[in-house]
Structure 1
Amino acid sequence: METKEKKQTTTKATPKKDAAEGLRDLFIDSLKDIYWAEKALSKALPKMSKNATSKTLIKTIDSHLEETHHQIERLEKVFESIGEKASAKKCEAMDGLIKEGEEIVKETEIGAVRDAGIIAASQKIEHYEIATYGTLASFAKTLKEEKALKLLLETLKEEKDADYALTDAAYNSINFDAKEEEEEEEEEEEEEEE
């Protein structure tokens, strides 16, 4: 019994003309990416807060919005510390995550279920930011950019704390409230059928 091996063809991607040539270039390019992401997030968070109903969630989002403004300023200091002008490059990942969050808001009823959806979308964003800041800190350490490293680690800690606060809000009330809302709706539907 002969097995046929499928011949896999792979093509190498052709880099852009301005592609990163070394780790420092990749570091700077990644900084531009997260700088755009944080600015976009600073516009998206108020919309999420406005659509939330849980006081705990609203407080968590509003607190993170304030932190996000500080993180933008901190990124500007990172650029300065490495002798670069702060500039943004569209972050496709963050753009997609924000759009997903907007869709969740549109596709859910006002209340605990929407709040649970907002938390889910927010945590995806936090996890992206945690991964990005962790990578940037690693690059800064390797490049011996000590001031940048310190600033990036400060933001990384804030992102981890924000993720924890969202988890806490979800587990301690919102997810249970959403489940309760669903059960109440099911009971009402059963009563209507009788």
Structure 2
Amino acid sequence: MTVNSLHDLYLDQLKDLYSACKQSQPIVTEMGRAAKSKELSEALIAGNQGIERGMETISELCNRHGVDPTGEHCKGMEGIVAEARKHAIDTQFGDDDTRDAAIITQYQRLTHYAIAGYGCVRSFANRLGHDGDGAALQECLDHTRHGDQTMTQIAEGGVNRAAVD
């Protein structure tokens, strides 16, 4: 795809974000299964549900603009997923609490990538006058930020303390 305008960039980035979301789902599921903390596991399940809703929104927006959201491969998320697998799943941990702290770290890295993506496409949509798109993407951004804040609360509320003990 040749990117000749902000509209082209917007569509390209929606497709990239869709790919990023799709790639993140399996590792979030794995981290949810590996988590010792019930609160963390439940938050990861909720996070995956949020990722799914985000993908549905992106798909609807792409369809509205006559493009297929699939076919793009986000290399950035590929690397973040590989790091999450390496540091939260494949690493041998001396205790489960430390693994939970690592899971939170890796989930937040995935989330921060999504926050950046949603923020950019939301700004593009608003600039292009796609107000409905902008509102839908703002909702995705808000949900993603909330998930990030939830992970910080779980970490600071007990997981990190348990990992020290």
Question: What interval of TM-score do these two structures reach, taking the shorter chain for normalisation?
Answer: over 0.9
Partner residue, 1:158: 143
> 1 or 2, which has the higher helix percentage?
2
In angstroms, what is the RMSD of aligned CA positions? 1.2
Partner residue, 2:156: 171
Q: Any conservation in 1 of the 2:125–2:133 contact (CA below 8 Å)?
A: yes
- Counterpart code for 2:72: K
Matched, 1:55 2:38: yes
C-alpha separation in 2, matches of 1:19 and 1:121 = 33
Aligned match for 1:71, one of 27, 30, 54:
54
Aligned match for 2:90, one of 91, 98, 106:
106
Unaligned runs of 5+ in 2: none
C-alpha separation in 2, matches of 1:92 and 1:98 = 10
TM-score (norm 2): 0.94
Aligned match for 1:144, one of 120, 129, 139:
129
Partner residue, 1:82: 65
Q: Write the deviation string for residues 119-160 of structure 1: whole angstroms up to 9, x where unpaired.
A: 001111111111110010000001111121111011000000
Partner residue, 1:185: none
SS of the residue 1:68 aligns to: helix
C-alpha separation in 2, matches of 1:26 and 1:56 = 39
Shift in CA distance, 108/116, structure 1 to aligned 2, threshold 3 Å: farther
- Counterpart code for 1:99: A
Please report how far the alpha carbon of residue 19 of structure 1 lies from its aligned counterpart in structure 2 after TM superposition: 3.3
Aligned residues: 163
Please report how far the alpha carbon of residue 100 of structure 1 lies from its aligned counterpart in structure 2 after TM superposition: 0.4
Partner residue, 2:17: 34
Please report how far the alpha carbon of residue 85 of structure 1 lies from its aligned counterpart in structure 2 after TM superposition: 2.9
- Counterpart code for 2:91: E
Larger radius of gyration: 1
C-alpha separation in 2, matches of 1:170 and 1:34 = 27
Q: Any conservation in 1 of the 2:47–2:147 contact (CA below 8 Å)?
A: yes
C-alpha separation in 1, matches of 2:160 and 2:69 = 40
C-alpha separation in 2, matches of 1:88 and 1:167 = 33
Matched, 1:124 2:114: no
Please report how far the alpha carbon of residue 73 of structure 1 lies from its aligned counterpart in structure 2 after TM superposition: 0.8
Please report how far the alpha carbon of residue 81 of structure 1 lies from its aligned counterpart in structure 2 after TM superposition: 2.7
Please report how far the alpha carbon of residue 87 of structure 1 lies from its aligned counterpart in structure 2 after TM superposition: 2.3
Greater Cα shift, 68-77 or 55-64: 68-77
Please report how far the alpha carbon of residue 168 of structure 1 lies from its aligned counterpart in structure 2 after TM superposition: 0.3
Unaligned runs of 5+ in 1: 1-17, 181-194
Please report how far the alpha carbon of residue 101 of structure 1 lies from its aligned counterpart in structure 2 after TM superposition: 0.6
Runs of 4+ more than 4 Å apart: none
